[in-house]
Chains A and B, each alone.
Chain A
Amino acid sequence: AQSVTQLDSHVSVSEGTPVLLRCNYSSSYSPSLFWYVQHPNKGLQLLLKYTSAATLVKGINGFEAEFKKSETSFHLTKPSAHMSDAAEYFCVVSLRTGANNLFFGTGTRLTVIP
């Protein structure tokens, strides 16, 4: 069975401090993993993806995530938060075969305090 757990529903950080959004997954297969960002009243935008190449993945806007198979984790980080990072973030697991194979976390809302 496949599932995605985002460990925090809400994270609040001060501008200029590091961001850590946590994601754990379970999968019977070797998955692809994604982080999407959703700004208020907008659609989902791909931040970064892991598809079995380098385990440290760099995305847009200074975000990166590390795939740790032993910990079944794919945490999203950024060294220094910006006000424009305030949004909802979704961790997504995708199996490599089949059509009905996208599994979403419940989302983490990031608040950035000036």
Chain B
Amino acid sequence: NAGVTQTPKFRVLKTGQSMTLLCAQDMNHEYMYWYRQDPGMGLRLIHYSVGEGTTAKGEVPDGYNVSRLKKQNFLLGLESAAPSQTSVYFCASRPSGGTEAFFGQGTRLTVV
């Protein structure tokens, strides 16, 4: 009963490096989301997807790219990391007919 799994859980990057965060869900949900969490700001939506092969921008998309080549996976990429991208990143999924979102455990990213 894995639910939503994020990989990795922790990462330290140097400014300018690139990396990809992986989100995998085993609940056959259509919708998937990437959020970032910063102190005092709650969760802000970066990108989301309504199905395989589709993506859309959220509230704070700049500096990030995403891909959803398979229904169960949603990848978040940072092409050139910046210190402002130091944050905790959460992935979530939700069925298209439902309202409750299911969250991963988070990825703590530090850019130095």
Q: Chain A: residues with CB nearer than 8 A to chain B? A: 9, 32, 34, 36, 41-46, 49, 51, 90, 92, 94, 96, 99-100, 102, 104-107
Q: Take A99-B31, A100-B48, A102-B33 as given contacts and tell me if A43 and B103 are in contact as well, using a CB distance cutoff of 8 Å.
A: yes
Interface assignment of B101: CB less than 8 Å from any CB of chain A: yes
A–B complex contacts, Cβ < 8 Å, 13 sampled: A9-B40, A41-B106, A43-B103, A45-B103, A49-B100, A51-B99, A90-B43, A99-B31, A99-B96, A100-B48, A104-B42, A106-B41, A106-B42
Count of chain B residues with Cβ under 8 Å from any Cβ of A? 24
Shortest beta-carbon distance from B75 to chain A in Å: 18
Contact of A46 with B90 in the complex, beta carbons under 8 Å: no
Shortest beta-carbon distance from B35 to chain A in Å: 8
- In the complex, A51 Cα to B100 Cα: how many Å? 10
Q: Chain B: residues with CB nearer than 8 A to chain A? A: 31, 33, 40-45, 48, 50, 56, 58, 90, 92, 94, 96, 99-101, 103-106, 108
Q: Take A43-B106, A99-B31 as given contacts and tell me if A32 and B99 are in contact as well, using a CB distance cutoff of 8 Å.
A: yes
A-B contact count (CB 8 A): 52
Residues of A within 8 A of B44 (CB): 104
Report which residue of B43, B44, B96, B101 has the largest number of chain A beta carbons within 10 angstroms of its beta carbon. Answer: B43
Contact of A100 with B42 in the complex, beta carbons under 8 Å: no
Report which residue of A51, A99, A106 has the largest number of chain B beta carbons within 10 angstroms of its beta carbon. Answer: A99
- In the complex, A23 Cα to B94 Cα: how many Å? 23
Contact of B99 with A96 in the complex, beta carbons under 8 Å: yes
Residues of A within 8 A of B96 (CB): 99
Residues of B within 8 A of A44 (CB): 90, 103
- In the complex, A34 Cα to B92 Cα: how many Å? 15
- In the complex, A46 Cα to B42 Cα: how many Å? 15
Contact of A100 with B99 in the complex, beta carbons under 8 Å: no
Residues of A within 8 A of B56 (CB): 99-100
